[in-house]
Amino acid sequence: MDSIEPKTTGGSVTFPEPTTFSGITTFSNPCFHVTKNTDQTIADATVAVVTFESTTDGAESGAIINKGGLFANNKFTVTSTTTGVYYFYTSLFTSSSGATSDLYVYLRKNGTQQLQTALPSYISGSYQYNLQIYGLINLDNSGDYVEVVVDCDMASNNSLLINYNANYFRTEFGGYKVR
């Protein structure tokens, strides 16, 4: 039987993805889909990272996905073997006891770089808002990470509640490698 050996002793062999061996293709594609399991209150005039507490792969009757374990501490972080271009999405169900002055959600790379912005979609007759965003982000260095951030400026000093509901996943964040 033929075998593939590293060029140097103690080295390793790296294959570009996807790799085909005798008709079998291997492809590691990190992906995640996480939700909240508690409400989060954000004070007026605050920029805050959205927390996602349900992150264990297979939890919530299989609704939680964290293949590769790259989602932790409210952010998705790549390693040297998982760098690449990723598609991310988030949907936040929020409410307040008053109107908004300014309210934004964005995907933030490495804690400082704002990459996407979405304005709320007002749900008629209430102070409830659905914030959704999606897009491609290049995570080309080991340690690059993406998190969901809310910039909350509410009228009359109101706070914003990011909602969790035990029967419906109203707030979620996910992504997967596309290249």
pLDDT digits (tens, 9 = 90+) for 62-115: 899 999 999 999 999 999 999 999 999 999 998 888 777 788 899 999 998 787
In this predicted structure, what is the pLDDT of residue 121?
A: 63
Query: Over the stretch 166-179, which tens digit does the pLDDT of each residue have?
Result: 667 789 999 999 99
Q: What 3-state class would DSSP assign to 138?
A: strand
- From 49, 160, 149, 51, select the one nearest 101 (Cα to Cα): 160
- From 83, 105, 100, 102, select the one nearest 158 (Cα to Cα): 100
Query: Over the stretch 22-72, which tens digit does the pLDDT of each residue have?
Result: 655 455 689 999 999 999 999 999 999 999 999 999 998 889 999 999 999
Distance, CA of 35 to CA of 52 (rounded, Å):
5
In this predicted structure, what is the pLDDT of residue 177?
A: 96
Query: Over the stretch 134-160, which tens digit does the pLDDT of each residue have?
Result: 999 999 999 999 999 998 888 888 899
Selected residue with higher pLDDT from 138 and 128: 138
Residue at token pair 């040297």: 80
